[in-house]
Amino acid sequence: MKFINKVEENLIGIGLLSAVLLVFANVILRYILKSSSTWIEEIVRYVIIWITFIGSAVCFRRMSHMGIDLIFSFIKGGVKKAVEIYIIVASIAFMAFLLKYGIDLFLFTRTTGQITPALGIKLYWIYIGIPFGAFLSLVELFQLLFKKFKEVPAE
């Protein structure tokens, strides 16, 4: 899992860096050279989609999604653990839904042969990021769930 975690974080970092550099280049093109490139805007949009779905798994691993600090400051012990487990199970249900419909969207765009307007690449390469990110999130969520069941609640 450490290898996969490193790959996720590196992909996010590379994606974010490339998106920033491409947007910066487009700003230079637009304001200095008086012409911008539509393919840059399109590729940045798609990179951000991938960053979002891969980043979701990283956030689950770090428990960044579950920031309900106000509720957790009032509850302790077994009730807190039950609420945490409920949140993880609800997240698993949502990610399973996203995985199923992400695969459906991928298959639909693959069979229809849709392409992106400026880049001309197959749209399913963009949409495969949705089930990919949902799958990675499910892996992280199941790990969290097993850890929660192994924990002894604080009194």
Please state, in angstroms and rounded to a whole number, the distance separating the CA atoms of residues 36 and 26: 6
Could you tell me the CA-to-CA distances from 153 to 82, 103, 145, 146, 149 in Å, in that order?
10, 38, 14, 14, 10
User: Which 3-state string (H, E, C) describes 87-108?
Assistant: HHHHHHHHHHHHHHHHHHHHHH
3-state secondary structure (DSSP) of residue 27: helix
Q: In this structure, are residues 12 and 132 in contact, taking their beta carbons and an 8 Å threshold?
A: no
- What is this structure's pTM? 0.86
pLDDT for the residue 77: 80
What are the structure tokens assigned to 53, written together? 């779905």
* Residues facing residue 122 across a β-bridge: 115
pLDDT in tens, the chain (155 residues): 788 899 999 999 999 999 999 999 999 998 988 887 889 999 999 999 999 999 999 988 888 765 666 677 788 888 888 888 998 999 999 999 999 999 999 999 999 999 999 899 999 999 999 999 999 999 999 999 999 888 765 55
Longest dimension (CA), the chain: 65
DSSP for 50-86? HHHHHHHHHHHHTT-S---HHHHHH--HHHHHHHHHH
Distance CA 139, CA 54 (A): 12
